[in-house]
Amino acid sequence: MKVFIDSADLDEIKQAYEWGIADGVTTNPSLMKKAVDKRKNINLKQYLNQILETAKGTPVSLEVTETSAKGMITQGKKLYKLFNPIANNVYIKIPVNPAFKDSDKTHFAGIEAIKALTKANIPVNCTLIFTPEQALLAAKAGAAFVSPFAGRIDDFIQTNNKIKFNKTDYFPMEGKEKGKVTLNDNGIVSGIDLVAQCVEILEGYKTEVLAASLRNTRQVREAALVGADISTLPFSVIKDMLKHSKTYQGMKNFTKDIVTDYVKLTK
Ligand code: E4P
């Protein structure tokens, strides 16, 4: 499974690439706001160029902010024209359905935009996927990546069932039971179940499943185990992946036992 960093923070992105563990970058409007708010007098064009150069050779997703098909297609093409020449690694992020409510008329605008951008040879990362059937339509329209939002489905199931939780809590991939019923959102029992169903349904498609909205290290492991092609991870989760109390204890014990003559051999 490839590991992307889910961040628009250049320092975090640089660090992840220096460590040699990043295979790509995903951004979204909220991550962009967080990075911009943290910095004073930012030249956004130069800043994004630096992100693209840091990630050279690996995909960087830049999300559209328009919500009509025409708007997303025009903006997607402009973003691509503006930024892809920097390092030839831009993917345009398109919401699977940019409508705000059922009665809106724009439900297929995302699909239209995916189709048009793909036809123009612009790779698309389709975002805000909460059902395998959304992923299926995005793949059929030509999306290079589909991004199921694991953590947010876990939040949704818990909120709907009045369960208190912290954003980074582990939610079991097999779901939680209440009475004799496994809690679910229309047959999806957890975020990792959503990822697994997307993986199964898209077998035979060239679209890659990018597990997004992962909030803890166990979810990363499970995303890999159910066959996600990619996981995009906040910097904090990447850092947590190396931690274990027995590793610390082992280090203390080994350090205590060091034979001085052995160390002298390399001095
Ligand atoms: C990535 O593409 C998504 O935008 C991101 O993973 C969302 O994560 P969140 O649900 O923790 O905000």
Nearest ligand 1 atom to the CA of 167 is 11
Q: What is the pLDDT of residues 164-218, one digit of tens each?
A: 999 999 999 999 999 899 999 999 999 999 999 999 999 999 999 999 999 999 9
Entry pTM? 0.96
Given the residues 70, 78, 93, 164, select the one marked as catalytic: 93
pLDDT number for residue 159 = 97
Give me the percent of the chain exceeding a pLDDT of 70: 100
Pocket of ligand 1, beta carbon within 6 A: 6, 26, 28, 127, 147, 149, 151-152, 212-213, 232
Q: Where does the chain show beta strands of DSSP type E?
A: 2-6, 25-26, 60-63, 90-95, 124-129, 145-148, 177-178, 181-182, 208-211, 230-233
For helices 44-54 and 69-87, the axis angle rounded to 10 degrees is: 60
> Ligand 1 center to residue 145 CA distance, Å?
14
Q: What is the pLDDT of residues 28-65, one digit of tens each?
A: 999 999 999 999 899 999 999 999 999 999 999 999 99
Q: CA angle 241-242-243, nearest 5°?
A: 100
> Ligand 1 center to residue 234 CA distance, Å?
8
Give me the percent of the chain exceeding a pLDDT of 90: 99
Task: Tell me the CATH class for 2-264.
Answer: alpha beta
Nearest CA to ligand 1 atom 6: 213
Based on the residue annotation, tell me whether 93 is a catalytic residue of this protein. Answer: yes
* Rounded average pLDDT over 6-32: 98
Nearest ligand 1 atom to the CA of 147 is 2
Mutate to test the pocket of ligand 1, among 34, 129, 192, 213 (most ligand atoms within 8 A of CB): 213
Q: What is the pLDDT of residues 97-147, one digit of tens each?
A: 999 999 999 999 999 999 999 999 999 999 999 999 999 999 999 999 999
All structural domains of the chain with their residue ranges = 2-264
Residue with tokens 């024209």: 81
Q: What is the pLDDT of residues 230-266, one digit of tens each?
A: 999 999 999 999 999 999 999 999 999 999 999 999 9
pLDDT number for residue 258 = 98
| DSSP string of 88-138, one letter each residue | S-EEEEEES---SSTT-S-TTHHHHHHHHHHHTT--EEEEEE-SHHHHHHH
- 47, 10 Cβ separation under 8 angstroms: yes
pLDDT number for residue 70 = 98
